[in-house]
Amino acid sequence: IAVGAAAPMGERIDAIDALIHLNDIRLLPIWNLLGDDPEVRRVVTADGRALLGRIVPRGDVNALLDKLGIVGAIELAPAEIVAAAWEGKTVPIGSGMGLTLQRRRVNGESRLELNGFDPRSLPSLKAHGCFTEIIQFKTRMFVPVSRAADIVSALSAK
């Protein structure tokens, strides 16, 4: 059973193993930095400690660390980057090129847009499988949804 899922009627859950990111220290001074996901959870660790805090979605952890001035970042897997972007987050792609991935609505359909690219890198990005459209006199770069994780993986490795 996944974290947050209810147990079927009559079953008792003794323990759930899951990796979550929980901010459990002095929430009030930084509440506004924690993003838009207000889920609060009480977690009991294996050694019996009870923690109460706000869940920080994996795709938001790096942005929170930046806001708090903490050096260091967790590396998201390509599938996690795509999932976070698909949920509406702006997710940096760890390539050092300043690229971000974000869901956009274009002509009535949801797409994954690649932002922050250098126009000189268009041929390279297209070679990885991205495609462009000119919308309102501006060239925009998109990642095909069906191959998004593979393309993000290739761009992250650059």
Q: What is the pLDDT of residue 11?
A: 63
In eight-state DSSP terms, residue 39 is -
Q: How many CB atoms lie within 10 A of CB 23?
A: 18
How far apart (Å, rounded) are the C-alpha atoms in residues 25 and 64?
14
Q: Is the pTM higher than 0.85?
A: no
Alpha-helical regions (H) of the chain: 27-30, 61-67, 78-86, 122-127, 148-157
16-73 pLDDT, tens per residue? 666 666 665 665 566 667 667 667 777 777 788 887 777 777 777 777 777 777 776 7
Give the dihedral sign, CA 83/84/87/91.
negative
Angle in degrees, 0-180, between the axes of helices 78-86 and 148-157, rounded to the nearest 10: 120
* pLDDT exceeds cutoff 90 at 133: yes
pLDDT, mean over the chain? 79
What are the two backbone dihedrals, phi and then psi, of residue 43, each rounded to the nearest 5 degrees? Answer: -120, 135
